[in-house]
Structure 1
Amino acid sequence: MMRKSIWIVLGLGLLMACSAKTEKIDYTKLSEEEVLAEAKKIAHETIIVDGHMDLPFRMYNLGNHLNGEVYDFINRQTEGNIDYVRAKEGGLDAPFMAIYIPASYQEKGGAKVLADTLIMMVERLVNTWPDKLALAKSPQEIEENFKKGLLSLPMGIENGAAIEDDINNLQYFFDRGIRYMTLTHGKDNLIGDSSYDTARTNNGLSDFGKKVVLEMNRLGMIVDVSHVDDKTFFDVAEVSKAPLVATHSSARHFTPGFERNVSDEIIQKIAEKKGMVMITFGGSFIDQGYAAAGDSIRAHIQEWLKTNNLTMQDSAAQAYIKAYRAQHAPTVHVSKIAEHIDHVVKLVGIDYVGLGSDFDGVGDSLPEGMKDASMYPNLIAELLKMGYSREDIEKICHKNFFRVWNDILNAAG
Structure 2
Amino acid sequence: MPIRPRALAGALALSLLASPHGHADRVQERAGELARKYLLVDTHIDVPYRIHKHWEDVTRATEKGEFDYPRAVAGGLNVPFMSIYTPASSESDGSAYALANTLIDHVEAMVARAPDKFAIATSPVEVEKQFKAGKISLALGMENGAPIAGDLDKLRHFHRRGVRYVTLAHGESNHISDSSYDDVRLWRGLSPFGAEVVSEMNELGIMVDISHLSDAAAFEVLERSSAPVIASHSSMRKFTPGFERNMDDKLLRALANKGGVVMINFGSSFVTAKANQYFENYSTARETYAKRHALAWGSEEMQAFEQRYRDKQPLPFATVSEVADHIDHVVNTAGIDHVGIGSDYDGVGDSLPIGLKDVSTYPNLVAELLRRDYSEGDIEKLLGANLMRVWRAVAARAE
**Taking structure 2 as the reference length, what is the TM-score of the superposition?**
0.92
- Greater shift in the superposed pair: 309-318 or 324-333: 309-318
Q: 1:347 aligns with which of 333, 338, 344?
A: 333
What amino acid is the match of 1:224?
D
Q: Which residue of 1 aligns with 2:172?
A: 187
Is 1:271 the counterpart of 2:256? The answer is yes
- The yes-or-no answer on 1:43 pairing with 2:35 is yes
Equivalent of residue 210 in structure 1, options 195, 204, 207? 195
| CA apart distance, 1:141 | 1.2
Q: For 1:48-95, what per-residue CA distance to the aligned partner results, in whole angstroms no more than 9, with x for missing partners?
A: 000111110111112x5xxxxxx4112211211100011011111110
Give the match for residue 149 of structure 1: 134
Matched, 1:390 2:376: yes
Cα 1:170–1:319 change in 2 (3 A) is closer
Q: Which amino acid aligns with 2:44?
A: H
CA distance in 1, matches of 2:309, 2:145: 37
Conservation of the 8 A alpha-carbon contact between 2:84 and 2:142: yes
Whether 1:338 and 2:330 are equivalent positions in the alignment is no
Q: Which residue of 2 aligns with 1:26?
A: 13
Aligned-residue offset at 1:25: 3.8
Bigger drift between 240-249 and 102-111 goes to 102-111
Structure 2 distance, partners of 1:307, 1:276, is 44
Pick which of 323-332 and 135-144 moved more: 323-332
> Quick check: 2:59–2:113 contact (8 Å CA) kept in 1?
no
Please point out which of 38, 59, 65 is paired with 1:80. Answer: 65
Alignment-derived partner of residue 17 in structure 1: none
User: Of 384, 387, 393, which residue of structure 2 is paired with 1:401?
Assistant: 387
Contact 1:248 1:356 in 2 (8 A): yes
Structure 1's 309 and 207: CA in aligned 2 closer, same or farther, altered over 3 A? closer
State the 1:234 CA deviation. Answer: 1.0
Map 1:185-334 onto structure 2 (within 5 A).
185-300=170-285, 315=300, 318-329=303-314, 330-334=316-320
Q: Which amino acid aligns with 2:378?
A: D
**Whole-Å separation in 1 of the counterparts to 2:299 and 2:222:** 47
| d(CA) in 2 for partners of 1:216, 1:168 | 12
Per the TM alignment, residue 139 of structure 1 is displaced from its structure 2 partner at its CA by 1.5
Q: What SS class does the counterpart of residue 129 from structure 2 fall into?
A: helix
Q: Is the 1:155–1:178 contact (alpha carbons within 8 Å) kept by the matching residues of 2?
A: yes
Q: Can you list the C-alpha shifts for 1:34-58, whole angstroms capped at 9, x where unaligned? A: 1111101111111100011111011
Q: Does 1:380 align with 2:372?
A: no
Structure 1 residues not aligned, in runs of 5+: 1-21, 65-70
Change over 3 Å in CA distance of 1:252–1:186 after alignment to 2:
same
SS of equivalent residue, structure 1 residue 192: coil
User: Matches of 2:265 and 2:70 in 1, distance apart?
Assistant: 22
The match for 1:359 among 331, 345, 363 is 345
Distance 1:32 1:199, change over 3 A: same
What is the rounded CA distance, in whole Å, between the counterparts of 1:168 and 1:303 in structure 2?
42
1:81–1:360 CA contact under 8 A, matched in 2: yes
Structure 2: gaps of 5 or more residues: 1-8
- The aligned residue for residue 52 of structure 2 is 60
Q: Is the 8 A contact 1:217 1:412 kept in 2?
A: yes
Shift of 1:154: 0.5
1:89 is the counterpart of 2:74: yes
CA distance in 2, matches of 1:295, 1:117: 32
Quick one: structure 1 residues 100 and 36, their matched pair in 2 at CA, closer, same or farther if it must change by over 3 Å? same
Q: CA deviation at 1:188?
A: 1.1
Conservation of the 8 A alpha-carbon contact between 2:12 and 2:26: no
Query: Match of 1:96, as an amino acid?
Result: F
C-alpha contact 2:209 2:232 (8 A) present in aligned 1: yes
Rg (Cα) greater in structure: 1
Separation in structure 2 between the aligned mates of residue 177 and residue 215 of structure 1, nearest angstrom: 15
The number of residues matched between the two structures is 385
SS state of the match for residue 97, structure 1? strand
Contact (CA 8 Å) 2:122, 2:162: kept in 1 or not?
A: yes
CA-CA distance at 1:249 after TM superposition? 0.4
- The verdict on how the C-alpha distance between 1:28 and 1:412 changes in structure 2, with shifts beyond 3 A counting, is farther
- 1:299 Cα deviation after fit: 4.1
SS in 1 for 2:110: helix
Structure 2 vs 1, CA of residues 326 and 406 (structure 1 numbering), >3 Å: closer, same or farther?
A: same
| Alpha-carbon separation, structure 1, partners of 2:14 and 2:140 | 35
Task: Give the partner amino acid of 2:97.
Answer: K
- TM-score, normalisation: structure 1: 0.89
Equivalent-residue separation in structure 1 for 2:14 and 2:44 (angstroms): 29
The one-letter amino acid of 1:248's match is H
Indicate which of 143, 156, 179 corresponds to 1:171.
156
Calculate the aligned-residue CA RMSD, in Å: 2.0
The structural deviation recorded for 1:100 is 0.5
Aligned-pair identity in percent equals: 46
Q: Give the 3 Å change call, closer, same or farther, for CA 303–200 of structure 1 in structure 2.
A: closer
Q: Using the TM superposition, name which of 99-108 and 320-329 deviates more.
A: 320-329
In the alignment, which of 117, 120, 127 is matched to residue 135 of structure 1?
Answer: 120
Contact 1:28 1:385 in 2 (8 A): no
Give 1:324 deviation, angstroms: 3.5
The CA deviation at 1:289 is 0.7
